Structure 1
Amino acid sequence: MVFLLPGVKFDFDLIQKYDTRAPRYTSYPPATELTEAFTAKDFELAICNSNQRQTPLSLYFHIPFCQSACYFCGCNTVISNNKNIAKPYLQNLAQEIKNTAELIDTSRNVLQIHWGGGTPNYLDLHQVEFLWNKINRYFTIDPQAEVSIEINPRYINKEYIQFLRDIGFNRISFGIQDFNPIVQEAVNRIQPEKMLIDAMGWIKDANFDSVNVDLIYGLPHQNLHTFRETVQKTIDLDPDRIVVFNFAYVPWMKPVQKRIDQNALPGAQEKLDILKMTIEELTNNEYLFIGMDHFAKTNNELAIAQQNGTLKRNFQGYTTHAETELFGFGATSISMLEDAYAQNHKGLKEYYQAVTEGIIPTSKGFKLSQDDIIRRDVIMSIMSHFQLHKSDIESKYHLDFDRYFCQELAELKPLEADGLVHLLADEIQITDIGRLLVRNIAVTFDTHSRMREAKFSRAI
């Protein structure tokens, strides 16, 4: 049975047929390919090469601390009510910024900054200002830069929000997950409705350029009726972007999820019904389906970047500046350069030790081959724009697309027969049915992940 939605066709039978695991492609190769064979010295060389390219920069700063554990969480966090734990972390983060900035040509403009976590508003206002000043001391921030931060609405007030805006943040995001108090209790994330309404009101009053909220479907005790209420209440809040994540229940990878009652999770058909309803409600209320799990208003940067062909994906998801190279700071953060990826140590002890010794705190990474770079362009075009012009790849890399990817094009034939994709002379077009299964299409061009399927979440 096929249901028509604006820009999307929802086909239950095909979704069930292609219900396999695949990377989310926030990078290619995926982060699962990072290896300890890639060292801090390799990253230093990659930075040197990056300086020669003179590309603009994106910066990411990871604040890993949370006051309590959300049972659905898949992030790298440190749970502690002792706020003093942030003091040595900030000192080491500031030292890492200094050490790494000495290797970067910091005349390169910074077009994007993002603080993520964990919970960045775990920091008090003096600590926020301290970190902000360190960043501005060592980097050249473009006056029009997109500067964003994630917040937890349980630990925020109007003064804090206004301070963030005054100091220079112009975009903000927070997690709703679900308005239903039974669901919230089941995942240890209790946020009364008034709290969420107040947080959005403070953000609107502070005049942020853009606000993003996150929802999660597939959590315990959710059903079609209750999640419809959550979606409608979210629309009433009027955010600029909405991200609707599929909950990946992977307790063997994230032990905190063992606290979730598996018997309370919605079944596969219920999840599909929830997803269909969510897409329908959002697209009927002037949110564009950007891709995979992202929705944005037509005047939002994501929608504009997709229209202009400058949308891309990185380790934070969809992003608006395809030309930037990303440097990540803090424990577990990942840098994403043109030809290399590098991840910092996850453990605070190892991270602190490396920083203290004046070593870039790289724990693992990956050096991309020319083939990786070519395939990344193909995959990111499919993921970001739902189409690919073969001639663009041919002219950029001086190759014959059909010959280079003859095996992949053959493997796409059954997907074309199922209506997921159109294979044209100079173009690969993802159909409205294929949009929801874009990961299944992209994985065809992925030479790294096919033997690692179990490591990834399901495509829907």
Structure 2
Amino acid sequence: MTPDLIDRLGGERVPRYTSYPTAPHFTTEVGPAEFGRWLGDVGPDEAVSAYIHVPFCTALCLYCGCHTRVVRRYAPVEAYVAALTREIDLVAARLAGRPVLRHLHWGGGTPTMLRGSDLRRIAGHLRRTFAFAPDIEIAVEIDPRTLTPADVETLAAIGVTRASLGVQSLDPEVQRAIRREQSVAETARAVDWLRFSGIAAVNVDLMIGLPHQSVANVVATVDHAVALAPDRVAVFGYGHVPWMKPHQRALPEAALPGPHERHAQFEAAAGRLVRAGYVRIGLDHFAAPDDPLARAAAAKTLRRNFQGYTTDGTRTLLGFGASAISSLPGGYAQAMTDIAAYADAVARGELPTTRGLALTRDDRLRRDVIEGLMCDLAVDLDEICGRHGVTADSAFAPELARLDAMARLGVVARSGHRIAVPDEMRSLVRSASAVFDARLAGGPGRHSTSL
């Protein structure tokens, strides 16, 4: 990628496209009644996935963009668990039967902040609500700094099959700037505990674009990660959005790398991982060749949802907890982000849905195109449009003209109605996808930069 192209497109603010339409376009037109109707349409034996949101941490990392809060006492967490189990019961009462749960993701915040008894309690409510598939994937996000052997024992007991370890950077200067000090030793110790317990699938999450990061210390962190032999590595670009996350203002903004340096950091990390034998997946993921994610990418069955790249092919994702988003054939439904308001709603016996979006035919068409680009770096517009009963020329005439302009820059390659993002341009796949985002221009969303 040339420096001129980085200057031209690297500062664009575009969505990460873990959904389409994206969350900033949700409205209050979708509430508990609409979500309840969508739940009633879920088939009694339908395959579904679920997400559990735990919005608590023991300390706030300054780069964080999640819905979470710091707690010093367990009482608020205990009260939240009670609300969460009530919400699961409310959803269960609206389902026609016991759908088959194929994927379950515990996210946060820090899910392992929960006591073992509370993790088991939530898992029990889920097992009463859903029929767990024999080959279910149960994933959990972990902070290695606070993980204990007792935590790992509980995770194994509730059936966890995959753990994602937050690492971000192992450089001491970067860690001090982001207020997340974590040693190589405690990270390796967490991996050892997990594998000893039988949780063999381990992911490592890294970041580029943090204060004081350089190509050298990014590569050093990648080398430490590779030494752990994880099954997957994600290399996320830090999204600096202090207008949305005020705590990010405490970061030393002058020490943030610019687009050129961020691109160099990411490509250096990617090169190191590829040389170590990992397969490059979509925008920012890497997987061992025998990992299900790599196999899905090769088979063109890779998917993208709110947790990022996934093998989850279900139509319905049910989110539980404050701020959690559900995705159903009818549309998206998000719970209240305020924890107290969320708990009050479920205590009244109400679904805590506060906003969402009912999908139109055009939304579904564009979602398929954007997901195809984000996952496969290529789409056949004729094939996708044929499934939706339209033609590419009628549906995407303005978009095709914009793609031609991007093709002249080398960002995409166009052959008729087949669009591909060259491998050397994959860092700009979000910009290429944004061409098909009919809601982006003039919309309410404020996003991170493309590089």
Counterpart of 1:356?
347
2:51 aligned residue: 60
Unaligned ranges ≥5, structure 1: 1-9
In the TM superposition, residue 297 of structure 1 has moved relative to its aligned partner by 1.2
User: Are 1:226 and 2:217 counterparts?
Assistant: yes
> What is the aligned partner in structure 1 of residue 325 from structure 2?
334
CA distance in 2, matches of 1:47, 1:28: 20
Normalising by the residue count of structure 1, what TM-score does the alignment of the two structures yield? 0.94
Pick one of 14, 27, 40 that aligns with 2:32.
Answer: 40
Partner residue in 2 for 1:7: none
Match of 2:163 in 1: 172
| 2:15–2:430 CA contact under 8 A, matched in 1 | yes
Contact 1:71–1:188 under 8 Å retained in 2: yes
Partner of 1:430: 421
Q: Distance in 2 between matches of 1:352 and 1:127?
A: 16
Out of 429, 432, 455, the residue aligned to residue 446 of structure 2 is 455
Which residue of structure 2 aligns with residue 294 of structure 1? 285
| Kept after mapping to 2: 8 A contact 1:48/1:104 | yes
Q: Does the 8 A contact of 2:153 with 2:197 survive in 1? A: yes
Residues 118-166 of structure 1 deviation map (CA, whole Å, 9 limit, x = unaligned): 1000011111111111111111110101100111111112332133123
Aligned to 1:317: 308
Which among 80, 91, 101 is matched to residue 89 of structure 1? 80
Q: Does 1:23 align with 2:15?
A: yes
Cα displacement (A) at 1:318: 1.0
Indicate whether 1:254 and 2:245 are aligned.
yes
Q: Distance in 2 between matches of 1:209 and 1:457?
A: 34
* Alignment match, 1:4: none
Given that 1:11 and 1:433 are in contact with CA atoms closer than 8 Å, whether structure 2 keeps it comes out as: no
Cα distance in 2 between the residues matched to 1:364 and 1:276: 38
Cα offset for 1:453?
A: 8.0
User: 1:106–1:140: 8 Å Cα contact kept in structure 2?
Assistant: no
Q: Deviations over 1:177-198 (max 9, x none)?
A: 1111221121111112211111
**1:186 paired residue number:** 177
Amino acid at match of 2:131: T
In structure 2, the partner of 1:144 is: 135
Task: Report whether the alignment pairs 1:161 with 2:152.
Answer: yes
Partner Cα distance (2:27, 2:412) in 1: 34
Matched-pair contact (CA < 8 Å) for 1:21–1:453: no
* SS of residue matched to 2:442: helix
* 8 A contact 2:236–2:284 mirrored in 1: yes
Q: Which amino acid aligns with 1:228?
A: V
Mean Cα deviation higher: 245-254 or 444-453: 444-453
Q: Distance in 2 between the 1:74 and 1:287 partners?
A: 27
* Between 258-267 and 409-418, the greater mean CA deviation after superposition: 258-267
Counterpart-to-counterpart distance in 1, 2:64 and 2:437: 27
Residue identity matched to 1:38: V
The code of the aligned residue for 2:19 comes to: S
* Structure 2 CA distance for aligned equivalents of residues 351 and 229 of structure 1: 42
Name the CA distance, whole Å, in 2 between partners of 1:330 and 1:323. 20
Closer, same or farther: CA 11–286 of 1 in aligned 2, 3 Å: farther
TM-superposed CA distance for 1:415, in Å, is: 1.2
* Secondary structure, aligned partner of 2:230: coil
- Alpha carbon RMSD of aligned pairs, Å? 1.6
Distance change >3 Å, CA 354–CA 454, structure 1 → 2: closer
- 1:312-342 CA-to-partner distances (Å, cap 9, x unmatched) read 1111111112233100001110001122101
Q: Which amino acid aligns with 2:24?
A: T
Deviation string for 1:399-440 (max 9, x for gaps)?
A: 212222111111100111122222223522221233221111
Note if contact 1:215-1:243 (Cα within 8 Å) is conserved in structure 2.
yes
Shift of 1:302: 1.2
Please identify runs of 4+ aligned residues in structure 1 that moved more than 3 A: 10-13, 49-52
List aligned pairs for 1:303-452, cutoff 5 A. Answer: 303-452=294-443
Q: Which amino acid in structure 2 is aligned with residue 40 of structure 1?
A: P
Residues 232, 371 of structure 1: alpha-carbon distance in 2 compared, 3 angstrom cutoff: same
Q: CA separation in 1, counterparts of 2:398 and 2:61?
A: 43
The DSSP-based 3-state class of the residue aligned with 1:43 is helix
Separation (CA, whole Å) in 2 of partners of 1:186 and 1:231: 19
Q: Compare 269-278 and 65-74 and name the one that shifted more.
A: 269-278
Q: Is the 8 A contact 2:184 2:224 kept in 1?
A: no
Contact 1:22–1:453 (8 Å) recurs in 2:
no
* Total equivalences in the alignment: 450
| Structure 1 SS opposite 2:337 | coil
| Secondary structure in structure 1 of the residue aligned to 2:94 | coil
Identity among equivalent positions (%) equals 35
Structure 1 residues 103 and 250, CA gap change in structure 2 (3 angstroms): same
For residue 38 of structure 2, give the secondary structure of its aligned residue in structure 1.
helix
Match of 1:281 in 2: 272
Identify the match of residue 103 of structure 2 among 112, 132, 135. 112
**SS in structure 1 at match of 2:43:** helix
Aligned positions of 1:188-207 closer than 5 A: 188-207=179-198
| Cα displacement string for residues 213-233 of structure 1 (whole angstroms, at most 9, x for unaligned residues) | 111111122222222211111
Shift of the 209–13 alpha-carbon distance from structure 1 to 2, 3 Å rule, reads farther
The 10-residue stretch of structure 1 (355-364 or 293-302) with the greater mean CA deviation from structure 2: 293-302
| Structure 1 residue aligned with 2:117 | 126
CA distance in 2, matches of 1:433, 1:418: 13
1:236 aligns with 2:227: yes
Q: 2:98 touches 2:129 (CA, 8 Å); kept in 1?
A: no
State the Cα deviation string for residues 227-268 of structure 1 (Å, max 9, x = none). Answer: 221111111111111111111222121011122121222333
5+ long unaligned stretches in structure 2: none
d(CA) in 2 for partners of 1:332, 1:139: 22
For residue 62 of structure 2, the aligned residue among 59, 71, 77 is 71
Amino acid at match of 1:26: T
157-166 or 146-155: bigger deviation: 157-166
Distance 1:300 1:280 in 2: 19
User: Which shifted more, 399-408 or 377-386?
Assistant: 399-408
